[in-house]
Each structure stands twice: as structure tokens, then as C-alpha cells.
Structure 1
Amino acid sequence: MKSCFIVFLLAFPAMIFAQRQPIDLLIGTYTNNGKSKGIYVYAFDPVTGTATLRSTQGAKNPSFLSISADRSYIYVANENGDGQGAASAYAYEGATGKLTFLNQQLTQGDAPCHVATDSRGTHVIISNYSGGSVSVFPIEKDGSLGTLKQRIQHTGSGPDKSRQQAPHVHSAFFTPDEKRVYVQDLGTDEIAIYDFQPTNADGPLVPAAQPFVKSAPGGGPRHVAQSADGGLVYLVQEMTAKVRVYRQKDGRLEGIQEVEINEEGFSGQNGAADIKLSLDGKFLYASNRGEAHTLAIYRVDPLDGRLTKVGNQSVLGRGPRNFTISPDNRYLLVANQNTDEVVVFARDTETGMLTDTGKRIEVPSPVCLVFVN
């Protein structure tokens, strides 16, 4: 026991030092307004909450980013229309923060808006919003994308004929054990569930025994957050600005709760966007754009995972499309798309509440934030 304690004491300064070192922050943007260049790489200082630009990579509408488990490659959804929706691969050099373009593949679906990568680095999954489909690409040994391996076209519609006239695939998330993939479809009010079989010759996504689970009618599924063990799934619904809680047991999802994102009395336009659990699993955050421009803050019940609202925080800008929590759990950064900046909040790890640090990252149309840790 004494020797273990000595080893800990020797390692502790190194742990503190590592936590204080700058961390790269990748920012994806929309470029179709002519203001942004593409992907921005910043060094984020966890001591001061400030960020310093390291590099910029030209790209067309890189609206969502994913980094490989070994931190060597970045995969991008290029949210283009008119048959030009694409997935791109870049090599990432941590020492310099530089991105090097490897290749690009068309997704065969318009407006790809989300990208996911498995930890073994075998496949990239792209969600095509306008196309209502999922595209799957193999990852080659050099990190580039192989030719399209699988494309799954969703069918169906929802009760809101102005927005749910057809499928609109919004995201695909691996379960923590990577045995399944949850695909959120805003147009059909469903989470489609696929088994992930990376060696399957016909394609790695296979309909699960429970092929889908419904959200609230007219809710508009967008993104999910999951507990570390995969036992709880939290769905943000864009159109109603509500979070729906599912319990996962034996590979099946069951809805157990639905809660409001908005403050009581809010009657404006909704546009709920992103959802994240704190790294300790104690708090959940969800953003609403539209006319609210707020983050909802919930406490997670440690026994059953149900949510209790503890507050709403103004994002101090407009259009909080995406946000992220720093690897040390001390900061929450919000990408305010319509006010061209990332707002840096300090997190109280005991209460979950947020405080404005006064720090800003000025970048045109930020829509995706990814820490490289």
C-alpha cells in the first residue's frame, strides 16, 4: 500500500501539469454566407479559459466534425446540397494543430449534418438531413475514406406537414459499447436502431431486434446523449424543445420521462439543437435556438436517471447550435451561430450552474465544437 501511495504522489504533479496544458479545440463553421473559411483550430487554455488560433483549414460548410480515437484524423460532414453533400478526411498533427486534406467522398444524400466514427477506426457514418438517409464509408489504412459501402434510405413522415413531410436524418451515435447505433430522424419522429457489425460484407449497419423507438409525435428527434454504461439515453427534440428520457435494457429502449427545455411561460419559436451530459454524469444540458437562446440545466437522478430542471442559462448570443464541455469538466463552451462567437462559461461541478467568464472566441458562423483530448 505504501509503495502505491508513493507512486501516486510522484504521478500527481504530472497529472496536474497535464490538466493545465492547452487543449486543441476544433471549430466547424458554415461557409455559405461568405464570412468563414472552414475549420478553425484553437489552443484552449484550461487555466484562463482563453483560446489562441493555431491554424485554419479551408473547407466548404464543415458543419460537423469527428476525431479518430488515436487523434490522428478528423472526419467532416460537408453540409452541401444539389447532390454535393460530402464527407471529408483530414490528417491532424497535434504538435502544430495543422490539418492536411486527404480526400472527399460524396454521400449520395443532400445536407449531411452529422458524422460519427467508431473507436476502432473502421467506419465513418454520415447523416444526410435533406436526403433522409445514412451513408457509411470504410476508413482506409492511411485514414482516408474508401468508396461508399452502405446507404440506408429512411421512409415515412410525421404529423407536422411543414417540416415532417419526409425523413430527415439528423444524427447517428454509437452506443458506449459500440454494438449498436442510434439514428435520429426528425422527419419520422423515430430513433432507428442498428446493430453495428463492422465485418459484415453487406454493410455494417443491420436493423436491430428493436428496429426503432418512437419519440413524441411532432417532436423532431435531433441528437442524443448517453450515460457511460449506455443504460440511459437522452433525446433532444428540436421542434417541441423537450428532452425525452429512455431506459435501455437488454438492447431495448423504453421511454420513461419527458421534460421541458424552455423556461415556464415561454411561447416563442423553438429550435432545440444539442444535448450533453457532464463528464461525471451528474448534470445534463440542452440548447434551444429559435427565439429562446438558452441552455436548460438538469440534475440527473443517480438512481433512475430521471431529470430535474435546476435552471436556464442565457447563451449571451443567438443561435446556440452546438456546445461542448471541456475535458476537465470545468468549462462549457457554446457555439452561437448567429452572433459569430463561442461563449466560454465556467461550470460549478457541484451545482451544474454556469457563470460567464467574459471570454469569447470570435469565429464566423460556428456550429460544431470538438476538443482534442
Structure 2
Amino acid sequence: MRLLISLFSLLPVITMAQAPKEYRFLVGTYTKAMHVCSFNPATGNISLINTVEGLNNPSFLTISADGQHVYAVSEAGKTEGGVYAFTFEKTSSKLTLLNTQPSGGTSPCHISIDKAGRNAIVSNYGNGSVTVLPILEDGSLGAPVQTIQHTGSGPVEGRQEGPHAHSATFSPDEKQVFVADLGIDKIMVYDYHPENKQAPLTPAAIPFIVTPQGMGPRHFTFHPNGKYAYVVGELRGNVVSYAYENKTLRLLQSVSTSPWASPKFGLADVHISADGDFLYVSDRERQNYLVIFTIDSSNGEIRYFKREPTLGETPRNFLIGPSGKFVLVANQNSDNIVAFKRDTATGLLSRPTNQQFSIKAPVCLQMIP
């Protein structure tokens, strides 16, 4: 009898371990709201859990390493933008606004924070500047302590009349920050000194990397092994690969996202699978595809593999799930998020049947830790 009771007591544990896990993620939008959603990988269903209203274009966002705080830009157009700080209550999935600070520039489009949660770095697209805001003990944001103004221009008329900082990415050891500036065809390189409260960013020994002319560098990411880095060119439809060594980038190659001629590109986001074997890029200008590349981990080089329609318009942002078995895509202009199954061995995506979720103007997806 005692043995039967002991065996029976194990059954709930086994059942729970085998039950499909639901993931929660945040959705930044070009509306007045930010959303908390859940995704069931077994069914592909996406559902809305919670919403915070009264915001102003909370587009790009990031989440603290412990999942307890969320930071989002307020992409307010030609006027000075703002930055929101929220607490996130995991049990209820509730977002509560802590405070708002100015972004130090116009049209902020990207925000990143270090793992220790000491500083937030905001890229101001409109005027091409980078601003550092300290994160206080309660998770709220302090006033900006440093703003660095980029200068220059590029050859593409109407898009490169001046600097347009588009993303700030920490190096794997967080000793450097790389800022892709679409307007000047440069990746600006800064050394990161969080102990310096007034000027955490200083120009690196090699302060910038010049990208191919007219490419418009937008989003930037490191390979999981930390040896390689990749930047997408919004304007020319190419992905540029670099070796990362001695605190600088060495050019490896530039590869087109299309093996045939295209009238116009609009590359947006870039992510690499956790195993380091595949790189994915979204193209939001007419193409409406996710482009898949294979990665040679021995030298960092990429090769065009396939492209998959995103079943919507303007795929500005996407994420690869923690298991690597699904990809969620935010289609801004068709107001939907689409879930794809992902084959972890081949990197290929399979189209869903009913796994689409309607939501107004989704532009950023971030998985909650």
C-alpha cells in the first residue's frame, strides 16, 4: 500500500513535465498600447493576456534579465521622444508604468540594456543620436546622463540626408556597444564603462566601421560563439558578415537576401538560431519574407538558403522561440502576428494553418524570460 501511494504521488509531476509549455511575450506597437500575449507551441495558438493603454507609439522594447522590468521607446515622430519603464508582475502578467524620461533625441526606435540592469541605451533615429539613461534601484529610469550626436550623410536620397542611429548592441562581454547608423553607412563603436556614471560610452580605439555605400545598416547581432557579427542593410538588401576580434570588426563578406534582382528592399530585423547554424532576416518592403541563410561556424560566412512568405505585410520584427521550434512574426501593416513551426535540423519554416493572431500595428516582439 505504501508503495502504491508513493507511485501515485509521482504521477502529477510526470504529467506536468510532459504538458506543453506556454510562452509569454510582449508586443510593441505603433498605437497607444503595449500587449502581453501567450503562445502555445503545441497548438500554435496566440492569445491576449493583458494590455497597458495610454502610451504613445511604444514600438521597440526590451526586458530585464530577471523578467521583472520592461523598457520601451516612445517613438513620437519629429518631436523629442520618450522612454518608458514598467514593472512586470509575472503571476498576473500585469505591466505597471513606473516613469517616463526623454530619449535625448527625436524618433527613438531602439533600446537595449546591459544584463546587470545598470543602463539603458536608446537609438534616436530622427536626429541620429545615442542616449544613455541610468536604471535606478527600483527599476525606474533616471534622466539622461549622456547623449552622443552622430554626423555625416549617405548617398541614398531621401533616406541618408543625415545620421539615423537605428540600433545599439552590446558585445558578448558587454565591454563594447555597436551602433548601426542607417544614415551614414557606419557602425559606430563605443567602449562601455558602466562605472562612469556621467559618460558610460567612449569612442573605441577604432571608433567606427564603414559599411558598403548606400546599404543603410539597421539591426546588428552577434553569433552565439561571439566570434562573428552580422548587420542587415535596409536599403540595399544585403547582410554583411564580420569577424569580431581585438575589439573591432573585420569584414568577411556581403551577401544579398535575394538571388535575383529586386526593385526595392526594406530589410528590418535579424536573428540567429541558438545553435548558430542559421540566420534569419525580415524584408518588409514589398517582399514580405523571412530570408534564411546557413552559417559556416568555422569561418562565420553565410550562404543564401531559402525565403519564406510571412503571410502578412511589413514584417518589421520577429523572434525565434526559446526551444528553437517556432518563429513568431509581427506583420505591421496587416495587423497580425503569425506563428511558424521551425525544423531545428534544417532551419526551414512550415506554414501555419490557423495560427494567426490579429493585433493592431505590431512592430516588436520580445519573449519574457
Q: Does 1:345 align with 2:340?
A: yes
Percent sequence identity over matched residues?
A: 43
Q: Which amino acid aligns with 1:257?
A: Q
1:46 to 41, 50, 59: 41
209 and 61 in structure 1: CA distance in 2 versus 1, 3 angstrom threshold: same
User: Which of the numbers 159, 162, 165 marks the counterpart of 1:163?
Assistant: 159
Residue-by-residue CA offset, 1:279-308 (whole Å, 9 max, x unaligned): 111100011111111111011112111111
**Quick check: 1:300 aligned with 2:301?**
no
After superposition, residues 355-370 of structure 1 pair within 5 angstroms as 355-358=350-353, 359-370=355-366
Q: Helix, strand or coil for the counterpart of 1:321? A: strand
Distance in 2 separating the partners of 1:242 and 1:324: 20
The residue aligned with 1:76 is 72
Measure the CA separation in 1 of the matches of 2:20 and 2:89: 20
Structure-2 residue corresponding to 1:135: 131
Shift of 1:250: 1.1
Residues 138 and 160 (structure 1), Cα distance of their counterparts in 2 relative to 1, 3 Å cut:
same
Which of 280, 288, 304 is the aligned partner of 1:285?
Answer: 280
* Structure 1 segments (4+ residues) deviating >4 Å: 13-16
- Which stretch shows the higher mean deviation, 75-84 or 294-303? 75-84
Distance 1:235 1:248 in 2: 13
Let me know the Cα RMSD of the aligned residues. 1.6
Alignment match, 1:27: 27
Distance 1:229 1:206 in 2: 25
Residue 201 of structure 1 and its aligned partner are, at CA, apart by 3.8
In structure 2, stretches of 5+ residues that fail to align are 1-9
3-state DSSP of counterpart to 2:17: helix
Unpaired runs of at least 5, structure 1 = 1-9, 32-36
Structure 2 partner of 1:189: 185
- CA 1:14 to 1:75, structure 2 compared with 1: closer, same or farther past 3 Å? farther
What is the TM-score of this pair, normalised by structure 2?
A: 0.93
CA distance in structure 1 between the partners assigned to 2:281 and 2:190 by the alignment: 25
Match of 1:55 among 46, 50, 55: 50
Is 1:74–1:90's contact at 8 Å kept on the other side of the alignment? yes
Q: 1:149 to 1:15 in 2, by over 3 A?
A: farther
Tell me, in whole angstroms, the C-alpha distance in 2 between the residues paired with 1:117 and 1:46. Answer: 28
What's 1:270 paired with? 265
Distance 1:173 1:19 in 2: 36
Distance 2:14 2:202 in 1: 44
Residue matched to 1:259:
255
* Residues 329-371 of structure 1: CA deviation (Å, up to 9, x unaligned): 0001111101000111110111111011220121110000001
- Find the residue that maps to 2:333 and give its secondary structure: helix
Contact 1:158 1:166 in 2 (8 A): yes
Per the TM alignment, residue 202 of structure 1 is displaced from its structure 2 partner at its CA by: 3.4
Q: How far apart are the structure 1 equivalents of 2:73 and 2:165?
A: 13
Distance in 2 between residues matched to 1:85 and 1:181, nearest whole Å: 21
Are the equivalent residues in 1 in contact too, given 2:279–2:294 (CA < 8 A)? yes
**AA of the residue aligned to 2:96:** T
User: Is the contact between residue 189 and residue 215 of structure 1 (CA under 8 Å) also seen in structure 2?
Assistant: yes
CA distance in 1, matches of 2:133, 2:49: 29
Q: How far has the Cα of 1:15 moved from its partner?
A: 12
- Whether the 8 Å CA contact 2:78–2:126 is kept in 1: the answer is no
2:33 and 2:69 map into 1 onto residues whose CA distance is 16
Indicate which of 298, 308, 315 corresponds to 1:313.
308
Aligned amino acid, residue 301 of structure 2: R
Q: What's 1:328 paired with?
A: 323
The equivalent of 1:17 in structure 2 is: 17
Question: Structure 2: how far apart are the matches of 1:21 and 1:55?
Answer: 19
> How far did residue 111 of structure 1 move?
0.4
- Structure 2 distance, partners of 1:17, 1:106, is 45
Kept in 2: contact 1:159–1:217 (CA 8 A) = yes
